[in-house]
Amino acid sequence: MARVIVGVCGGIAAYKTPLVVRALMRHGHEVSVIPTPASTSFVGVATWEALTGRRVATGVFDHPWQVEHVEVTRTADLIAVIPATANTLAGMRAGLADNLLLSTILSADAPVIAFPAMHTNMWTNPATRDNVEALRARGVDVVDPVDGDLSSGDRGIGRMPDPDDIVDHLLARLSPGLLSGRRVVISAGGTREPLDPVRFLGNRSSGRMGCALARAARDLGASVVLVHANVEAGLLPRGVELVSAPCAERMAQAMRRHRQGADLVVMAAAVADYRPRHRAQTKIKKEGAQARCLVVELEPTTDILAELSTIREADELIVGFAAETGDHRSFLDLGKEKARRKGADLVAINKVGNSEGFGDVDTQVFLVDQQGTLLGDFSGTKDVVASALMTTLADRLSARV
């Protein structure tokens, strides 16, 4: 049994939160609710007290003799803010403590997970995006909202995930024993192969999926090493060992070194297949014969996934990613062929393109085994997909024992 604090903010999506609280309690967890004063316009204190059988306070001075915002955090295993409004996210980022919920979050040692819900324009506003990235950099798990109908009558991203999806996410988070004592090595980002001191050959990978997988493995109790290539600092998770490997050769070296003793290795990085055979020592100028045509000779980089599959230890689970293009059938066939060719235990196939796969977008991943047999698929935000995928990998790893 875990002790969960559920914070409720003043958004219309608050009406869904009682379903989450009830489900957590049915799974045997102990739930305390801290609503903001504004949220009681949507769900009243009496509802929370009836659901949980516990006294509910909304302000720091409701029960001042108990110093409630400190007391409730002493034994908390997790704080979940459902929904998290733009105002509360801003208050969390600024370290404000002007209501009981913010005071509790500020004084807590327990991990914090937030499920934002707001209008699309508020979610995409640079101020909110900056707040979210800052909170993630501090270790707060901010789960992206989904695309759908909004209370305003508009449609767009900003809708809180369905209660069942939130419950699944929380239950996975509250099961840290799945990878307890395991060592997990994950690669993320896109490598850049230098052409000269200024230019490089690269790809559009942001590293979001690899970072999300590292957070998911961390939350399941693993000791995690994240080997990252050109990932924005704000995306990198806390609580894991970070190793920078900006180009293919350095990533190969890092993966060889850190995979030793690993139980699970996930190659989620987009590693360049080719690099310039010759790297210019000075900036290549657009003049003379080169003004008309620049010829760059390329050579293949190390196939890191294939190499890791060859030198694996007996009990090591090797997982690769295959980013493919084309229609559904062709990209899936290409991914299955890669699984058969690379020798990894499992390959996660995801579709990429001009508006798919890269960056802060929803994704769909198909998991296949070494023979190309489809084992399952996962869809949603990258955080949701990473959590489900890592839980599946943890289960498969446990089945090997």
Break the chain down into helix, strand, coil percent, rounded to 5. 40, 25, 35
Distance CA 397, CA 366 (A): 18
Residue 203 appears among annotated catalytic residues: yes
Rounded (10°) CA dihedral 158, 160, 165, 170: 110
In three state form, how does the secondary structure of 106-173 look?
HHCCCCEEEEECCCHHHHHCHHHHHHHHHHHHCCCEECCCEEEECCCCCEEEEECCCHHHHHHHHHHH
Sign of torsion, CA 227 229 232 233? positive
Write down the catalytic residue from 131, 203, 230, 350: 203
CA–CA distance, 242 with 332 (Å, rounded to integer): 32
Integer angstrom CA distances of residue 17 from 192, 250, 388: 44, 46, 22
By annotation, the residues acting in catalysis are 203
